[in-house]
Amino acid sequence: MLLIGLTGGIATGKSTASQHLTNSTPPIPIIDADLIARQVITPHRPAYYSLVRHFGLQIINPETLEIDRAKLGAIVFSGDDVDGRQRKVLNGITHPDIRAEMLHCALKCFLRGERMCVLDTPLLFEAGLWKVVNVVMVVYCSEQAQLARLTARDSLTPTDAKSRIASQMPIDEKRQRADILIDNSSATPDDMRAQLDAAAKAFGQGGGQGS
């Protein structure tokens, strides 16, 4: 089974690319790290208790007892965390569980007889998952487009948006380590879809939108 690592920078269009691949004909199985990241911090999971012990009860929603990701993000991306210590703690707690679950999902794809599957993760390199994939695909756009999309999408100030972008590996470094580059600088997604279809066909997976 071909294992593809799909990554990019925040707001570069990785999720749009992932959605297109899963809607292709035939559909390509997607293992979504963001979805798994939400699952591993649900109440009573080990990472949940570790996060509460470190960051305190302030990160818990008192009504649902779930971790409030907005409050946690405000701490992790605070301007006070100049050395990224809090982000490193967060990643150290959650990354092992996320990696394990993603690889478990990939194993299930293999046992089902899938020809390929995609590990969709913004931290492919940071979490070390690039070591287990056969192909690295990086979705990128210009820095100006990335900043504009992020501020509009998440209602962030330019300063906060730049902080989020700076917390990840520079997109240029990811591009240098890619096997396949998907340019999402265009104002419309059609060009990116064509690039994704071409990549899927190269892998022998057909490509194109499903009906």
The predicted-structure confidence for 149-164, as pLDDT tens digits, reads as follows: 999 998 888 888 888 8
- Residue 211 inside a domain? The answer is no
pTM of the complete model: 0.88
CB 210, CB 22: distance < 8 Å: no
Residue partners of 186: CB distance under 8 A and separation at least 6: 192
| Residue-wise burial string across 76-87, b where 16 or more C-beta atoms lie within 10 A, e elsewhere | bbeeebeeeebb
- Residue 88 inside a domain? The answer is yes
Task: Pick the closest to residue 140 from 201, 73, 186 (CA basis).
Answer: 186
The predicted-structure confidence for 29-66, as pLDDT tens digits, reads as follows: 999 999 999 999 999 999 999 999 999 999 999 999 99
- Residue 210 inside a domain? The answer is no
> CA–CA separation, 75 vs 70, rounded Å?
9
- Residue 87 inside a domain? The answer is yes
Helix (H) or strand (E) holding 7: strand 2-8
Structure tokens at 115: 């020809």
Q: What is the CATH number of the domain that holds 93?
A: 3.40.50.300
- Residue 71 inside a domain? The answer is yes
The predicted-structure confidence for 85-143, as pLDDT tens digits, reads as follows: 898 999 999 999 999 999 999 999 999 999 999 999 998 998 889 999 999 999 999 88
Task: Pick the closest to residue 167 from 60, 40, 81, 100 (CA basis).
Answer: 81
pLDDT at residue 26 in the model: 84
Give the mean pLDDT of the chain. Answer: 91
Domain, as residue range, for 125: 2-202
Number of domains in the chain: 1
pLDDT at residue 208 in the model: 58
- Residue 209 inside a domain? The answer is no
pLDDT at residue 211 in the model: 31
Structure tokens at 2: 């071909």
Identity (one letter) of the amino acid at 186? S
